[in-house]
């Protein structure tokens, strides 16, 4: 059975972009592949954070994974820091990666822009991400489009390692959805929806209550025409709303264009508010139940044990190949 791995950082509020671009695919994949999904909390350290908040967000994200429908009997769900092999393999791969490669990473350039000082982890984090994937010999990695460059680096490092030290790694393929790979910010539809956006009006968090969802969608930027048409170039705001609507209801965008022909943006927004609240309410109810139960810690412990077995096996092969005893 094919192996799949992906992770999400426990930073900020998990939003519809993370969900529609990545996590929703995880739920579908659990029936078809041997899936490993993790909370990549070590990546979250690349920007200084409050420790108590990081702890809380780590559990929140793990509970959200379960609340959206990941079944711990089908998938291996774990927290990255609880599998030590990630840090060790990350170092070994830092000794394979080149500075020139990391200098080209667009996400590093964006996240370090304007900052007075930047931790070295932000620079080397794509290498740790490569370790996360390669340790599990994953052949497919479901991610949003923003991660494409990091996946290319992962493939490059795996190929170089296999060439220089001997065949150890499976070369992974990114799995990027055709629609929804890039959900845009509600307040700035020319940029991707982001947890670290300055304004909360940028995103809809999976845990936003109905009133907040209504306020945010009502304020979503559209354009001065009044035509509901999918055209991301000239109508990025309306197109983004159509994509979100389409993915939440499994309705083709063309059907939505037909449905709303002649209607105003208000009608589209009102229906999307209803669709979003209906989709998120059961997730939020399940989330509250999971957070109250003691089951979560047990699931994460078992997940880390299972993940460690696979990861340690690959780490051992890496060390053998590199002559590290
Ligand atoms: N806007 C988006 N549209 C589609 N997919 C997205 N992803 C992120 N934003 C969008 C995908 O979600 C997964 C988890 O992302 P992450 O938490 O690891 O990091 P990120 O890509 O840096 O996410 P954010 O929300 O933008 O966080 P911040 O602001 O903290 O950097 C990934 O598969 C990602 O592609």
pLDDT in tens, the chain (325 residues): 899 999 999 998 999 999 999 999 999 999 999 999 999 999 999 998 999 999 999 999 999 999 999 999 999 999 999 999 999 999 999 999 999 999 999 999 999 998 889 999 999 999 999 999 999 999 999 998 889 999 999 999 999 999 999 999 999 999 998 777 899 999 999 999 998 888 999 999 999 999 999 999 999 999 999 899 999 999 999 999 999 999 999 999 999 999 999 999 999 999 999 999 999 999 999 999 999 899 999 999 999 999 999 999 999 999 999 999 9
Nearest protein CA to atom 22 of ligand 1, as residue: 194
Long-range CB pairs of 247-253 (<8 Å, 24+ gap) are 247/20, 247/24, 247/179, 247/180, 248/20, 248/275, 248/276, 248/279, 249/275, 253/179
Taking CA atoms, 98 is separated from 14, 91, 113, 137, 236, in Å, by: 32, 13, 21, 22, 37
Residue 63: inside a domain, yes or no?
Answer: yes
Same domain for 110 and 129? yes
What pLDDT is attached to residue 104?
Answer: 96
pLDDT of residue 277: 98
- 149 with 216, same domain: the answer is no
Residues 87 and 154 in one domain: yes
299 and 208 co-located in one domain: no
Alpha helix locations (H) across the chain?
Answer: 16-18, 24-29, 41-44, 51-67, 85-94, 99-103, 106-112, 120-134, 148-165, 210-218, 236-249, 253-259, 265-292, 295-322
What does the pLDDT read at residue 115?
A: 86
Report if residue 261 sits inside a domain.
Answer: yes
Q: Are residues 87 and 17 in the same domain?
A: yes
pLDDT at 73: 96
For 284, the domain range is 200-288
Residue 195 lies in a domain: no
- Asked, for residue 133, whether it belongs to a domain, the answer is yes
Do 167 and 276 reside in the same domain of the chain? no
pLDDT value at position 174?
A: 94
Per-residue pLDDT tens for 220-256? 999 999 899 999 999 999 999 999 999 999 999 999 9
Residue 194 Cβ < 6 Å to ligand 1: yes
- Work out which ligand 1 atom sits closest to the CA atom of 185: 1
159: CATH: 3.40.50.620
* Residue 183 located in a structural domain: no
Q: Mark whether 17 and 108 lie in a shared domain.
A: yes
The order of strands in the sheet holding 140-142 is 76-79, 34-39, 3-8, 140-142, 173-175
Do 161 and 30 fall into the same domain?
Answer: yes
Among residues 195, 216, 235, 269, the one annotated as catalytic is: 195
- Global ipTM: 0.94
The C-alpha atoms of residue 5 and residue 129 are separated, in whole angstroms, by 11
Q: How far is the CA of 1 from the centre of ligand 1 (A)?
A: 27
* Exposure string for 229-264, b = 16+ CB within 10 A, e = fewer: ebebeebbbbbbbbbbbbbbbeeebeebeeebeeee
Within a domain: 191? no
Residue 112 lies in a domain: yes
- If asked whether residues 107 and 139 sit together in one domain, one would say yes
Domain count within the chain: 2
Q: What is the DSSP string of 152-194?
A: HHHHHHHHHHHHHH-S--PPPEEE--SSSSSPBPSS-TTSB--
Q: Based on the domain organization, do 160 and 305 belong to the same domain? A: yes
Separation of alpha carbons 82 and 225, rounded Å: 52
């Amino acid at each position: 059975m094919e192996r799949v791995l992906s992770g999400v950082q426990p930073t900020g509020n998990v939003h519809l972009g993370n969900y529609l671009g990545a996590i929703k695919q995880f739920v579908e994949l659990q029936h078809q592949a041997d899936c490993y999904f993790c909370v990549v909390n070590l990546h979250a350290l690349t920007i200084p954070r409050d420790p108590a908040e990081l702890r809380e967000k780590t559990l929140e994200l793990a509970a959200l994974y379960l609340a959206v429908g990941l079944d711990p009997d089908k998938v291996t769900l774990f927290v990255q820091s609880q599998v030590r092999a990630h840090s060790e393999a990350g170092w070994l791969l830092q000794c394979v990666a080149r500075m020139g490669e990391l200098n080209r990473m667009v996400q590093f350039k964006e996240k370090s822009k304007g900052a007075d000082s930047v931790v070295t982890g932000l620079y080397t984090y794509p290498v740790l991400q490569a370790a996360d994937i390669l340790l599990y010999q994953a052949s497919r990695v479901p991610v949003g489009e923003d991660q494409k460059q990091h996946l290319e680096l992962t493939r490059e490092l795996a190929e170089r390692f296999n060439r220089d030290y001997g065949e150890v790694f499976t070369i992974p393929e990114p799995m990027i959805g055709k629609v929804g790979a890039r959900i845009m910010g509600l307040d700035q539809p020319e940029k991707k929806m982001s947890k670290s956006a300055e304004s909360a009006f940028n995103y809809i968090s999976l845990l936003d209550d109905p009133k907040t969802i209504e306020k945010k969608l009502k304020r979503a930027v559209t354009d001065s025409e009044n035509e509901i048409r999918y055209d991301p170039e000239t109508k990025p705001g309306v197109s983004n709303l159509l994509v979100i609507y389409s993915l939440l209801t499994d309705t083709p965008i063309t059907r939505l264009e037909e449905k709303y022909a002649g209607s105003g943006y208000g009608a589209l927004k009102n229906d999307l508010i209803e669709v979003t609240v209906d989709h998120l309410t059961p997730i939020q109810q399940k989330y509250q139940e999971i957070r109250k139960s003691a089951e979560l810690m047990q699931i994460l412990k078992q997940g880390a044990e299972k993940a460690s077995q696979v990861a340690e096996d690959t780490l051992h092969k890496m060390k053998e190949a590199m002559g590290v005893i």
